[in-house]
Chain A
Amino acid sequence: MSDIRHALLRRDPLSAAKEVLYHLDIALGSTLQNAPGLDKSTVELVEEFIFHVPKDRNTQRKRMSCVQELQLLEIMCSYFQEQSKDAVRQVIFSALFSLQGNKADESRMATLGKLVSMAVAVCRVPILECAATWLQRTHSAWCVRLALVLVDDYCTLVPGSISTLQNVCSASPRFCCQLITAVTALYDFSSEELTPPPSLLDMVVGWITEDPRLLLLTFINTPLTSSLPLGCLEVTPLAGLLRWCVKAPLASQRARKSAATGAQLEQENGAMCEELYSKLHLSVLQVFLMLQVHLTEQNLLGRLAVLQVESVAALVEEVSVLVEELNPLHAANQIQLALDRLAQALQVAMATGALLCSREDLRTLCSRLPHNNMLQLVMSGPVVPHGAAFQPSVYPYIHPARPTPLSPHPSLPALSPLPAHPALATHHQLTPHTAHSPLPPPHAFHPASMAFQYRPIR
């Protein structure tokens, strides 16, 4: 192996990098069937000659010039484009860009950012698909960094270039789905800088309204058994998008407060964004409805928390902090809008089986939030007229016949124990539900379980 290294050291940096890529292709392409994984020396070669991490202090390697770097990216681009075997492509991509927790990671990330940005620019679908997988398997902190690179390149640096990114959606929807999850993780409204740029918002809303199924793409295509590392992105962007919708009115009020006198342009921009968030909120609710159909078909209704209680709890916490920061007198409308959206999303998520949570849990969860009619309605659940039996499945579209544990779906033999979706924490009930049923019904808001009837004052 050191022979190769010595040979490479004599070459110029670009041809050395090319050689390593070639070596990698040979090594992995042939060993794909039997023993996967790279030997240490190959990893070292990649780090030394592609990511330029010095092996020892003595060898002070020449760095590549900018032109050479661009040429290397082009070579990589063509390599992935021309590699016809999906598996080989995937393995090579991960050999190059899987993070190792060492010094090379920074350089790795930098190269990855440039490569993906380039792939977007020239629409290289294989690379985008690899990047989508990378975004699924990598810790969210790194994913957010990749997202930031793309946002900088396409939203911030060159204003007109967003349409290039926009068009990628039809070429690689899976990449876009992951990108949305990544940007919602990036922009969490915790500060003004972490408010999504309007052009990004516009693009994301455009994608979703075009076809809301986009949001469920990763979720639907991820096998329940595949193991994903800890700390990776959520399996759908739903929680992130919900955070955007709920926090946007509060954040805009905060921004207005700090900016004091908003310019005309700023106001117009604000109005446009308000409309976009409203559309986005509607889309989120519609996706919950779609999700229910999918869950029912897969016999997963009530077994899989797509929207996790923890995420909801975090969001509720963030909202209450933001509300406290704002003066309720001046921001009453914004606060009410935020709470309306939160309450609606929680209600629809519970009703569709995306959020597994009882009304009582919800009341505990939302106890710190200010009063809101919709939220009260959601927390207390629907009123059932005396004598009339509540028929949750009267509406077939929204409430298809839910699976009962007594009649398990024959196509799913592994019903018990519950199929573990590693990306999704299985639902942990905060309070025990109906004693006789091991599964919570999709309508976890059954009024019979309500301890008290708290009605909003109107």
Chain B
Amino acid sequence: MSAQGDCDFLVKRARELVPEDPWAAKAWLITARTLYPADFNIQYEMYMIERNAERTSSAGRLLYDIFINFPEQPGVWREIAIITAALRNDTQDKHAQFLRGVFETLPGPVQCQMLLKATEQCFNTLEKAEMHLLLLKRFPDSVVQHGVSLGESLLEAENMQDLDTPVNCYRKLFVCDVLPLIINNMEMRLPASLLHKYMHKAAEFYIGYVTRGPSADAQLQGPQEGGGLKSPGKGRGQRGVIDGLTEKSSLVAEPWERLLEIVGSVGLRCEWQGEKGTRTYSELLQRVKELCRYLPGLEGETFSRCCAQIVTCSTLVLFRSAHFYISSVQPSLFQGHNSLGSTPWVLVEDLSSVFNDIEPERPSGKHAHKKRKLADGREKTMSSDDEDALGKGRGRHILVNRTEMLAWAETLEHFRTARESWELLHSHETLESEFNKICAAWKTESWLWFRIFLTDMIIYQGQYRKALSSLVQLSSLQPQQSQNTHTSASSLETHRALIQQASCHYALGEYRLACEKLLEVVSGLVPQNQEATKSSEEQNRGRNKSKKGNDLRLIPCTSKDILPFCLQLMLACFKLRAFAEGNRDDLSLGHVIVLLQHDWPQGETLFLKAVDKICDQGSFQYENFFNYVTNIDMLEEFAYLRTTEGGRVQLELLPNQGMLIKHHTVTRGITKGVKEDFRLAMERQVSRCGENLLGVLHRFCINEKIILIQSLP
């Protein structure tokens, strides 16, 4: 008999005894162990008996023995893998708790050694990292030795996997778990460059995390609207779950606050100016704004350290505020369509003064028109067009309907803060180039939400030419929604860009292009009952009367709000042409009259001005009149114009009427017939007064699209 044979016999006998007499089984194994102290199976069997009976302390004791004496046995490794797996996951089942209890009974150094060895055994990078992390969390001393290498291995793994988003499991582990351990361990001495690199990795992750698209679940709940979101880049997995992580560990609570903590720690370690553990983002910005003033006087290392602080802080404040602004303006980007208050908002020129009388100065001035060629030639910040506009950009007001956007004040404040950070980043060459490096590394070019912010910012700055090219970029980032245009909400969202284009073209004096874009939008709208719009419109009335056409307005992207805006914008486009001095344009004047019906009697002054012009001309030809004018006041006025008292104005308002008149001027009877037609048409028109005006105007836009566009230069 061999020693192995003896051991096998003893273990076998003990195993047989376990069910009927567990004490005898243990007695056999104790004896066996004194006979063959170096045999693994005997001690492993002893451990298994205690483990299966879930006796924590004795199992721990025996595990300690076999771990110390048989570190190379595969059985030990299997067991350690099971125990460490129980440590990593957070299940509450009894056995997992028992295994964690066994681990807790072991002395600290053994726990440490066990975790280290278990880490070595892991082939899966993620598991390995989680194991490592377990070690670092339990043994803060080991952070000094292993912290950075673990962090680097995670970043390396991320690189190797060639992941297309920073919101991945490796980065999550690095940013949320490893990094705090590293930067909060005062024993660690790390170079500033490495700290900056890590902080930027963290920032990229947190920004990516908060600006992730809405979840797949949310899309399923709203199937009619969600179709377009299945396109690549947006519907990647569930929002709640990061690939490779559980739902629970994918959650990051208060990401902006976490990021701020990291910035605070790094700032402290990098000896940033005035860094005493920053508590708010606005403090961050305030501090670097002050720092910026001293920048020109600095040089060498101090200069670069200050630059790093300014760029980092401003960048974070910029993205944070821009994110908050966009989550108000375009909430569906982050929340999904069916959530409350997901209406998108669009920043456009304020047109509440459109009904005012013609002013000598037009919104963007004639000179803009003249210098357009120059501006087109070189799309640079300081074109003459923009130079002028920049000046205008200061102190522009943004009007919002306060009842419809509840957090309007915060939203506008975030917009302002973001712009301020942007300006700071572009106030110095070095800052700008550093910022551009970050943007390139993070591929911010591809961030739809940030492009939306940039566009709004450029519009605010009055750089409309630049804004238009930004809008083109925007549409290339936007997921294709072609099959979806019939559904109102999502198509409105895509039309957001069109509306802004129209608004920009208008501001640049490019009325024809403005109208083209507008009419494209209108064809996708569903006219509402006019009554609904009244209340909101009335609130802003009067207050804005005194303002120049210099302000901006945030309007909700709904048919209810968009159609009135489109009508106003068209009115604004035609108004100038229709009333131009020494220029007769009956078609434009007719369009203006049709458009003035909306929001009546706001446009009464302008209507009377139009009537004056018609009286001056002595005649007026607009064949669409009876198709689209249903306003009783206007009809009365026109009926009056034909009378002797009204000045016997020659009105050609019926289709082909002009032809008829020319043909039959000689024959009295036919003229009489024409008169009769007009009277009949008037009578018929009066009966149409109750028709939904928005419906009529909507039809006007759609049916007369070509004429409308052609009638503008």
Residues of chain A whose beta carbon lies under 8 Å from any beta carbon of chain B: 275, 278-279, 281-282, 285-286, 289, 340-341, 343-344, 347-348, 351-352, 373-374, 377-378, 381-385, 391-392, 394-399, 455-456, 458
Nearest 6 A/B pairs, CB to CB:
A351-B34, A395-B37, A383-B3, A344-B31, A282-B23, A278-B23
Residues of B within 8 A of A282 (CB): 23-24, 26-27, 30
Q: Does B21 contact A (CB under 8 A)?
A: yes
Is B3 a contact partner of A382 (Cβ separation < 8 A)? yes
Count residues of chain B with CB under 8 A from any CB of chain A.
Answer: 24
Q: Which of B23, B35, B38, B69 contacts A377 (CB 8 A)?
A: B35
In the complex, chain A residues whose CB is within 8 Å of the CB of B65: 395, 397
Q: Shortest beta-carbon distance, B4 to chain A, in Å? A: 8
CB of A302 to closest CB in B, whole Å: 15
Q: Does B403 contact A (CB under 8 A)?
A: no
In addition to A289-B30, A351-B34, A383-B5, 7 A-B residue pairs with Cβ atoms within 8 Å of each other are A275-B23, A285-B30, A347-B35, A348-B34, A383-B2, A394-B37, A455-B1
Q: CB-CB < 8 A to A348: which residues of B?
A: 30-31, 34
How far apart sit A458 and B27, CA to CA, in the bound complex (Å)? 20
Hey, what's the 0/1 contact readout for B25-60 against A, CB within 8 Å counting as 1? 011101101111110000000000000000000000
Complex CA gap A67/B145 in Å reads 80
Q: Are B3 and A347 in contact (CB under 8 A)?
A: no
* B9 contacts the other chain (CB 8 A): yes
Which partner residue on chain B sits nearest A393 by CB separation?
Answer: B37
Interface check B691, CB cutoff 8 A: no
Which A residues touch B68, using CB under 8 A?
396
B655 to chain A, nearest CB (A): 109
Question: Chain B residues in contact with chain A, CB under 8 A?
Answer: 1-3, 5-6, 9-10, 21, 23-24, 26-28, 30-31, 33-38, 65, 68-69
Asked whether A382 lies within 8 Å of B69 as measured between CB atoms, the reply is no
Chain B hits for A382, CB < 8 A = 3, 6, 35-36
Check B34–A394 contact: CB distance below 8 A.
no
Q: Do the beta carbons of A398 and B33 come within 8 Å of each other?
A: yes
Does the CB pair A458–B2 fall under 8 Å? no
Contact A394/B38 with A279-B23, A373-B9 known, Cβ cut-off 8 Å = yes
- 8 Å CB contact of B27 from A275, A285, A378, A381: A285
Compute how far the CA of A231 lies from the CA of B36 in the bound complex, rounded to whole angstroms.
38
* Chain B contacts for A373, CB-based, 8 A: 9
Docked Cα-Cα span, A289 to B30, in Å, equals 9
- By a CB distance below 8 angstroms, the chain B residues around A394 are 37-38, 69
A residues less than 8 Å from B33 (CB atoms): 395, 398
In the complex, A308→B48 CA distance in Å? 34
Is A344 within 8 A of B27, CB to CB? yes
- A374-B37 CB under 8 A given contacts A278-B24, A279-B23, A282-B23: no
User: With A and B bound together, what is the CA distance between A455 and B1 in angstroms?
Assistant: 7
Q: Are B23 and A398 in contact (CB under 8 A)?
A: no
Give the complex CA separation of A445 and B532 in angstroms: 103
Q: A289 to chain B: which residues have CB within 8 Å?
A: 30
- CA gap between A13 and B5 in the complex, in Å: 75
On whether the beta carbons of A392 and B37 are closer than 8 Å, the reply is yes
Instruction: Check if B31 sits within 8 Å of A374, measured CB to CB.
Output: yes
How far is it, in angstroms, between the C-alpha of A282 and the C-alpha of B147 when the chains are bound? Answer: 47
Partner of A278, one of B21, B34, B36, B69: B21
Residue of B nearest to A274 (CB): B21
Contacts of B27 in A (CB 8 A): 278, 281-282, 285, 341, 344
CA separation between A352 and B38, bound complex, in Å?
16
**Chain A's nearest CB lies how many Å from the CB of B611?**
110
Known interface pairs A383-B1, A395-B65; A377-B34 also in contact (CB < 8 Å): no
Least CB distance from A377 to B in Å reads 6
CA gap between A395 and B30 in the complex, in Å: 13
Let me know if B35 and A395 touch, CB within 8 A. Answer: no
> Residue on A with the closest CB to B1?
A455
Question: With a CB–CB cut-off of 8 A, which chain B residues contact A398?
Answer: 33-34, 37
Q: Which residues of A contact B9 (CB under 8 A)?
A: 373, 458
CA distance A385 to B4 in the complex (A): 9
- Residue on A with the closest CB to B24? A278
Bound-complex Cα distance A154 to B284 (A): 81
CB distance from B177 to the nearest CB of A (A): 36
- Complex Cα–Cα for A443 and B2 (A): 20
B24 touching A377 by the CB < 8 A rule? no
Contact A395 B69 (CB under 8 A): yes
Q: Is the CB of B30 within 8 A of A281?
A: no
Given contacts A374-B31, A377-B6, A383-B2, contact A391 B38 (CB under 8 A): yes
Q: Which of B1, B21, B27, B34 has the most CB of A within 10 A?
A: B34
CB neighbours (8 Å) of B1 from chain A are 383, 455-456, 458
Return A308 CB to nearest CB of chain B, in Å.
Answer: 19
Residues of B within 8 Å of A286, CB to CB, are 30
For the complex formed, measure the closest distance between the CB of A209 and the CB atoms of chain B, giving whole angstroms: 9
Residues of A within 8 A of B2 (CB): 383, 385
> Shortest distance in angstroms between B462's beta carbon and chain A's nearest beta carbon?
82
Give chain B nearest CB distance to A327 CB in angstroms: 24
A396–B37 alpha-carbon span in the complex (Å): 10
**Least CB distance, A237 to chain B, in whole angstroms:** 18
The distance in angstroms between the C-alpha atoms of A351 and B37, with both chains bound, is 10
Find out whether the CB atom of B28 lies under 8 angstroms from the CB atom of A344: yes
Q: B525: shortest Cβ distance to chain A, in Å?
A: 84
Question: Can you show 13 pairs from A to B with CB atoms below 8 A apart?
Answer: A278-B23, A282-B24, A282-B27, A289-B30, A344-B31, A348-B30, A351-B34, A374-B28, A382-B3, A382-B6, A391-B37, A394-B38, A456-B1
Nearest A residue to B34 via CB reads A351
Max chain A CB contacts within 10 Å: which of B24, B26, B36? B24
Residues in A whose Cβ lies below 8 Å from that of B30: 282, 285-286, 289, 344, 348
Min CB gap B69→A, angstroms:
6
In the assembled complex, the CB of B64 is this many whole angstroms from the nearest CB of chain A, namely 9
Q: Kindly list chain B residues whose C-beta atoms are within 8 Å of the C-beta of A377.
A: 6, 10, 35
Q: How far is the CB of B36 from chain A (nearest CB, A)?
A: 6
Select from chain A the residue with minimum beta-carbon distance to B68: A396
Name which of B5, B33, B65 has the most chain A CB atoms within 10 A of its CB.
Answer: B33
Measured CA separation A344–B30 after assembly (Å): 8
A383/B6 in contact, CB under 8 A: yes
Chain A residues whose C-beta falls within 8 Å of the C-beta of B38 in the assembled complex: 391, 394-395
What is the bound-complex CA distance between A278 and B9, given in angstroms? 20
Known: A377-B6, A383-B6, A395-B69. A347 touches B34 (CB 8 A): yes
Q: A384-B3, A458-B9 are in contact. Are A281 and B24 (CB under 8 A)?
A: yes
Least distance between B105 CB and chain A CB atoms (Å) = 15
Chain B residues closer than 8 Å to A340, beta-carbon distance? 24, 28
Q: Which residue of B lies closest to A390 (CB)?
A: B38
